């Protein structure tokens, strides 16, 4: 009986950790694909509390043969942006601006750390985020660190669940540029209307 209880407990525990899978159609993804051009790059977004300085979320914007965002366990959504397991396709400049505005508010600010990479590194990262799968809640930084540690030039990054320590390591990589976004929007961003993209 004890073995049955343990198996049942483990099964329920694993089920509660499962992430919600979303899978846009191939037609939607193909139609939305956006080529930004310019230098291939990898950008780490980190959402940080204005009151405590602790990290609330991490995501990756990858610019290669297309530009997309890996928003693991994120809540951001736009009806024109198809999603496959936390990967959002069609990240135009306006989509990126909306993504940042969604997260920056009176209680949180957003740090953007961008590093130029080779086309091969960008493509490897694009492939890895698309293969990773849906991410459970609270595992955003863990999934990003797991992915980037497989990418040439990023192997030294720590394996961690904590956004700020990971950001501090990322910002020390050669060639990284930084931007900070602050906003006085209300803490509850449910009122936001998705702009036309």
At 160-194, the pLDDT tens digits run: 999 999 999 999 999 999 999 999 888 776 656 67
Note the pLDDT of residue 169: 98
pTM for the model: 0.88
pLDDT at residue 191 in the model = 55
Residue 194's pLDDT is 73
Q: What is the DSSP string of 96-126?
A: HHHHHHHH-BTTEEEEEEEEE--HHHHHHHH
Domain residue extents for the chain:
38-187
pLDDT of 131 reads 97
pLDDT digits (tens, 9 = 90+) for 8-53: 333 333 333 456 788 999 999 999 999 998 899 999 999 999 999 9
Residue partners of 22: CB distance under 8 A and separation at least 6? 83, 84, 85, 86, 134
Each residue's pLDDT tens digit, 36-95: 988 999 999 999 999 999 999 999 999 999 999 999 999 999 999 999 999 999 999 999
Q: What is the mean pLDDT of residues 132-141?
A: 96
């Amino acid at each position: 009986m004890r073995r049955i209880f343990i198996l049942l407990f483990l099964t329920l525990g694993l089920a509660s950790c499962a992430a919600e899978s979303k899978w846009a159609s191939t037609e939607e993804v193909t139609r939305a694909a956006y080529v930004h051009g310019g230098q291939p790059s990898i950008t780490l977004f980190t959402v940080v509390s204005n009151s405590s300085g602790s990290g609330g979320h991490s995501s990756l914007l990858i610019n290669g043969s297309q530009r997309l965002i890996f928003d693991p366990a994120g809540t951001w959504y736009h009806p024109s942006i198809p999603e496959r397991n936390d990967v959002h396709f069609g990240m135009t400049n306006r989509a990126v601006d909306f993504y940042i505005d969604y997260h920056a508010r009176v209680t949180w600010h957003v740090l953007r750390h961008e590093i130029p990479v080779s086309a091969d590194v960008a493509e490897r990262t694009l492939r890895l985020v698309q293969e990773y799968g849906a991410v459970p809640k609270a595992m955003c930084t863990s999934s990003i660190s797991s992915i980037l540690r497989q990418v040439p030039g990023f192997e030294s990054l720590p394996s961690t669940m904590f956004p700020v320590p990971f950001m501090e390591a990322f910002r020390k990589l050669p060639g990284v540029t930084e931007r900070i976004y602050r906003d006085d929007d209300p803490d509850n961003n449910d009122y936001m209307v998705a702009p036309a993209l």
